Amino acid sequence: MNKKILVLCTGNSCRSIIAEALINAHIKGVEAYSAGVRASGVVNPNATRVLQEAGIWRDGYHSKETQEIKDIDFDLVITVCNNAKESCPIFEKKAKVIHVGFEDPDGKEYAEFVKTFNEIKTKLIPIVENEL
């Protein structure tokens, strides 16, 4: 049975989408999701681009509110921004919640998205593997 992980951010347009894709691509036996506490409803085109160039973009990735995933029992919830950490919703199943923050590349040049992608890959993936 796959462990279920939620990556939570504010807008669910950059960091959490990138983290969701990286976890799904690099950790076996895990099903990652992402959501926003105030989702923008749009995936940043540079986030899409960096994931496409890495070969891990899925058409199903989209910006969503926590309401959309409320019925999923998560084993681990990861907040990747301080706002999400402060306003993390309570889930019915007592999931472990951890915070691993990353700078928001939104509004910046594409190179910042590549930097964020690499930071999430090198920092977050080992933490998630250790938490499971």
24-51 pLDDT, tens per residue?
999 999 999 999 988 899 999 999 999 9
**What pLDDT shows up at residue 92?**
58
Query: Catalytic site residue 81?
Result: yes
Considering the candidates 5, 7, 9, 76, report the single residue annotated as catalytic: 9
Domain carrying residue 47: 3-131
pLDDT at 113 over 60: yes
**What pLDDT shows up at residue 96?**
87
Considering the candidates 5, 8, 35, 81, report the single residue annotated as catalytic: 81
Considering the candidates 88, 100, 124, 128, report the single residue annotated as catalytic: 88
pLDDT at 132 over 90: no
Q: How many domains does the chain have?
A: 1
Residue 106 contacts by C-beta under 8 Å, 6 or more apart in sequence? 11, 13, 14, 44
pTM above 0.85, yes or no: yes
Query: Catalytic site residue 14?
Result: no
Listed residue (14, 7, 3) closest to 104, CA to CA = 14
The CATH number covering residue 123 comes to 3.40.50.2300
pLDDT at 18 over 70: yes
pLDDT at 88 over 60: no
